[in-house]
Chain A
């Protein structure tokens, strides 16, 4: 009788163990994203212009350089920081100065942001300055986008193509 009870106890412990394993393996459910909203992702990796314009070296300067280093142009590596702005339906959504990456500040600037928006039609104004100018923008785009609930829309940027809605 006691042995039978022990077997029952062992079965109960193992059943409880696998019940815990089985349950928490996929329960309870977790709502990651609110119902009725859509996701806007904005991400790009883009290098701005050089912070200082290239300068032609003088003959004296070239003479001082080793023969294999005599490049006619002196181009400091550092790039400008990008000015990036997004307006959603005419209201500012995101504004940032994106510094260049790299120890010497000569790498591309990068951004990765995500915004949950109410589903529906929205107008996106995208502005990017990647030159040495102090005012205005070099790339501007206005797009009306239909955001379905649960949809993910990505905004990318490529130097030759401008803003891309994906």
Chain B
């Protein structure tokens, strides 16, 4: 699995980067695949409701009513029929891309297992929705799909009578069959909607609507396609004849030729193995699970900022258990935590200026404590004030490739894991000329919301905001794909030149420097805050 990810991931880095340049990060279709899937679902639903108005349920009426829509009322019902089909196809395309992309970025493990696992039935329900739709037209393609599907289903010993007997001869089929089909074609998409709702249950602030511009452009593109290449039917179904050459919709019916090539049992076994493998992927090796966030109640005042900022709803605010005079306390649900550290970045007690007591915030990652980060930054301090601190996300450009003279590099699990007070600390106490935060590419944060929250904190629009005394021109935050190390190095070099040209800022006092270096050398904890 990892080998496949190693191939796919760089391809997506480049594709993401290229589409971001063309569309901008906010409109990047690859960052909005799930939202586009929802959008196409709504197009399918609305066009389907319109088409249903004209649809007749009957052996001959079904085909005739679809033909009426396609030929007589082509300008509206025909367009709706085409939109219904093409939006359904587009939904499969974005669904498959979404799946491959999340796999490539390994966004399926740990707390993400739930979204991944609930995505598997979504695939099956999408396919079932499309397949039942193709039956309704009752043309030769519908006949082929109906017979192939029921023969395949009959392999399972669950039906009293072979279902395929319904299509044995022309007089075997009755109108009630179409009533049943219409029920299926409405019920399955409703189940799909339920599954989509479930899919998002463990995601905080899910993006289910694409940006309006992208939605409008996608809809326009589908509309143009519907007008230029309207969806059409095959010849009417005739159970006394065998459909021979078929124009398959490969998005929904792509596996049907296998039913001609392989035995039905083999196709069932293959489908079962593929489905189970897909479902089991979050638990397949190699399994890496860093330690989850831990709450320190002595320092938690129940402010709920961590719960607000958590991208996976892993933190809940519960009744206080330690008798302290606060209403609530943060509680981490281990199974939902992805160890991004964004909670530590949001904690108001996570201030590196604390010297009288050990730096233990209300919540943080045990494997990436803020005290250890402060020690590391202290050790990199440069007294001449000409150095830029580059704090890089581990999921972006590899930090070890960024070491340059005048640049002190430290890695973070996510840029959102850095409390803004650390920026103040670096500039006022560590003699930094500037602080550069390098996160994931805009809109493609590995932990979904780290870059968004960081920008909002730096702009003082979200607590904890950057203190007003911090000169904003000495702080920069950008996003990069992992392969863009050269671009990041250039950007940092330019930033370094710019901040060096700024008027000198207040130099930390000797006492402060002494305290800092003294603590860094091991006589720790002594100093002023």
Contact = CB atoms under 8 A, between A and B. Distances in A.
Interface of A: 6, 9-10, 13-15, 17-18, 20-22, 24-27, 29-33, 35, 38-39, 41, 43, 45, 101, 107, 110, 112, 114, 150-152, 154, 156, 166
B451 interface: no
B322 to A, nearest CB: 55
Nearest to A35: B244
A96 to B, nearest CB: 14
Given A26-B247, A32-B246, A151-B241, A18 B144 contact: no
B271 interface: no
Contact of A29 (B90, B228, B231, B247): B247
B194 interface: no
Contacts of A30: 245-248, 256-257
Contacts, number: 124
B225 A21 contact: yes
A112 B154 contact: yes
Given A32-B246, A152-B240, A110 B225 contact: no
B249 interface: yes
Nearest to A44: B165
A38 B242 CA distance: 8
Contacts of B225: 18, 21-22
Given A10-B23, A166-B168, A152 B93 contact: no
Contact of B239 (A9, A107, A150, A152): A152
Provide the main secondary structure of the chain A interface.
mixed
B184 to A, nearest CB: 22
A112 B22 contact: no
Contact of B242 (A6, A27, A151): A151
A9 B171 CA distance: 55
B9 to A, nearest CB: 21
B290 interface: no
B244 A150 contact: yes
| In the complex, the 4 A-B pairs of residues with the closest C-beta atoms, listed nearest first | A166-B169, A9-B22, A26-B247, A112-B162
A43 B144 contact: no
B297 to A, nearest CB: 51
Nearest to B228: A22
Contacts of B162: 43, 45, 110, 112
B151 interface: yes
A13 B162 CA distance: 47
A106 to B, nearest CB: 13
B217 interface: yes
A154 B169 contact: yes
Interface in B1-52: 19, 21-24, 27, 29
Interface residues of B, number: 50
A32 B244 contact: yes
B243 A10 contact: no
Contacts of A43: 162, 164-165, 168
A124 to B, nearest CB: 16
Given A43-B165, A151-B241, A154-B168, A13 B22 contact: yes
B501 interface: no
Contacts of B86: 18, 21-22, 25
19 contacts: A10-B23, A10-B27, A14-B220, A14-B221, A21-B86, A21-B225, A21-B251, A24-B89, A25-B231, A25-B251, A27-B250, A29-B247, A29-B248, A30-B248, A39-B242, A43-B162, A45-B165, A152-B242, A156-B169
A43 B246 CA distance: 25
Interface centre among A9, A30, A39, A110 (most CB of B within 10 A): A30
Given A18-B225, A43-B164, A150-B241, A13 B246 contact: no
Interface in B146-165: 151, 154, 160-162, 164-165
A10 B247 contact: no
Contacts of B171: 166
A86 to B, nearest CB: 16
B502 interface: no
A123 B221 CA distance: 56
Given A15-B221, A45-B161, A33 B29 contact: no
A117 B217 CA distance: 51
Contacts of A45: 161-162, 165
B85 interface: yes
Interface centre among A21, A43, A150 (most CB of B within 10 A): A21
Nearest to A116: B242
B242 A150 contact: yes
Contact of A24 (B144, B161, B165, B250): B250
Contacts of A39: 242
A94 B506 CA distance: 96
A30 B261 CA distance: 13
Contacts of A31: 244-246
Nearest to A26: B247
B229 interface: yes
A33 to B, nearest CB: 5
B244 A33 contact: yes
A26 B241 contact: no
Contacts of B332: none
A33 B23 CA distance: 45
Contacts of B221: 14-15, 17-18
A151 B244 contact: no
A24 B247 contact: no
Nearest to B154: A112
A152 B241 contact: yes
